[in-house]
Amino acid sequence: MLESPNASLHVDHAASSPLTARRAGALKGRARVPGDKSISHRALIFGALTVGETRISGLLEGEDVINTANAMRALGARVERTGEGAWRVFGVGVGGFRAPDGVLDFGNSGTGCRLVMGAVGGCPISATFDGDASLRRRPMQRILEPLARIGARAASAGDGGRLPITLAGARDPIPIVYRTPVPSAQIKSAVLLAGLAAPGETTVIESEASRDHTERLLKHFGAEVRLEAEGAHGRKITVRGEVELGPAPVVVPADPSSAAFPMVAALIVPGSEVILTDVMTNPLRTGLILTLREMGAEIETLDLRSAGGEELADFRVRASNLRGVDVPAARAPSMIDEYPVLAVAASFAQGTTVMRGLKELRVKESDRLSAVADGLKANGVEVDIQGDDLIVHGKGLARGDGGVATHMDHRIAMAFLVMGLSSEKPVRVDDAAIIATSFPGFPSLMRALGADLS
């Protein structure tokens, strides 16, 4: 949604709506969760930076992505919806954005906001970025700092460099070599997108590899990208700037971070058997599946295939007896969004699950470490936070009967609704409306599998 420059910058999500999950019978059937959120944002942004027409199919039509589509329109691209999940973008080319008339409102989405800051950072225009109360609390300095080296500057910002921010993009962008202070695909992508407009090579070095959809799409749209190993788990990514991107169709696979919810539900509701189709299996996104399998989960890979530069598969998931495991910190980037639902799975496991190195969870849509621990305690699960580690003492069950505060966080809402499908007593979350940011149709998809959500 765009607002006039003089309107209030503060935009909050629509009224909250509570939802309760109860135990019912086994979950059965096939389901395709919506398109991948990371790829959907990027498909729109790359389409807007391309000269010509980009066709996208399977786009996630959640609020976060719609906000990115609106931002691309405000920056000069033509963006049209031609059918369910089918979109066309007529781009303006690298460096071709025009100054928007109003504020760019990214709602709840850190990804949309930070990636577009990168793309704007390489253009000689000013734009004001804002979001909802959750996004206004999240750190933006991590994006402003590398963009300043490229030549962009924050003409104004909220306390601590937070939103709302007016960013003045670089007139003459400087190619840089940047080592990310935390493994974050959002920081990496912002630098690479700004670097597209700079002469010569822009390099990002990360000590732990984060999701690589930006790199894959850069290649897909014809940019020159070089990948090198960095230490044991890291990567060095180099892109040559001042390129002209050529349009390429994007097919968006189902989002593994959304599939995580029905997947864990099927594992913990006795007698369940569910098939989840078209799920992206990019190895930088599948840490949860690896971990669940270590816990004893029966997750069968069916029909592994490639489409549009990513691998995907169907998964058959059967209710399983889970056991506690130790999840190493090095695995965190490949499952960073999946810890809330993993903590739920860990509650229904026998034994202790230790999830290490979760500092970044404190700066997601909510402080997820606290939100998860509070929600588990409220529902009778024993849990500790030690430093940046989350420790869940699984007893094979959860009492339920606790109210859960979602803190404007879609994944907290979905994780605890999954818990309520198997806990002894129901679980009520205070706001299910926020789920529409990433997974519109979550309640109806779950009900179609047999879940009791009302």
Binding residue (CB under 6 A) for ligand S3P from 11, 38, 40, 176: 38
3 state SS of 220 = helix
Give the x-and-dash track for 128-167 against ligand S3P (CB under 6 A).
Answer: ----------------------------------------
If the CB atoms of residues 91 and 333 are measured against ligand S3P, the closer one turns out to be 333
What span, in angstroms and rounded, lies between the C-alpha atoms of 26 and 348? 16
| Residue from 31, 45, 185, 197 in contact with ligand S3P (CB under 6 A) | 185
Q: What is the DSSP letter of 162?
A: P
Alpha-carbon span 232 to 222, nearest angstrom: 29
Q: Per-residue x/- marks for ligand S3P, 208-227, CB under 6 A?
A: --xx----------------
The yes-or-no answer on residue 337 being catalytic is yes
Q: Which of 48, 245, 336, 369 binds ligand S3P (CB under 6 A)?
A: 336
If binding is defined by CB under 6 A, does position 206 make contact with ligand S3P? no
Cα–Cα distance for residue pair 66/75, rounded to 1 Å: 14
**Residue 30 Ramachandran class (φ > 0 left, ψ -120 to 50 alpha, else beta):** beta
Among the listed ranges 24-32, 99-107, 178-186, 261-269, the one in contact with ligand S3P (CB under 6 A) is 178-186
Question: Please, are residues 254 and 35 in contact by the beta-carbon 8 Å criterion?
Answer: yes
- CB of residue 216 to ligand S3P, shortest distance in Å: 12
Catalytic residue among 105, 278, 314, 337: 337
What H or E segment, with its residue span, contains residue 288?
Answer: helix 287-294
Helix (H, G, I), strand (E, B) or coil at 173: coil
DSSP 232-252: TTEEEEEEE-S--BPP--EEP
138 or 428: whose CB is closer to ligand S3P?
138
Cα separation of 384 and 405, whole Å? 18
Residue 184 touching ligand S3P (CB under 6 A): yes
* 203 near ligand S3P, rule: CB under 6 A: no
Indicate the residue among 279 and 349 with the shorter CB distance to ligand S3P.
279
Q: Which of 204/268 has CB closer to ligand S3P?
A: 204
Each residue 341-360 as x (binds ligand S3P by CB under 6 A) or -, in order, gives -------------------x
Q: Are 414 and 441 in contact (CB under 8 A)?
A: no
Query: HSE-up of 37 (CA within 13 Å, CB side)?
Result: 28
End-to-end CA distance of the chain: 29
Active site residues: 337
Residues that bind ligand S3P in the complex, under the rule CB under 6 A: 38, 111, 184-186, 189, 210-211, 336-337, 360
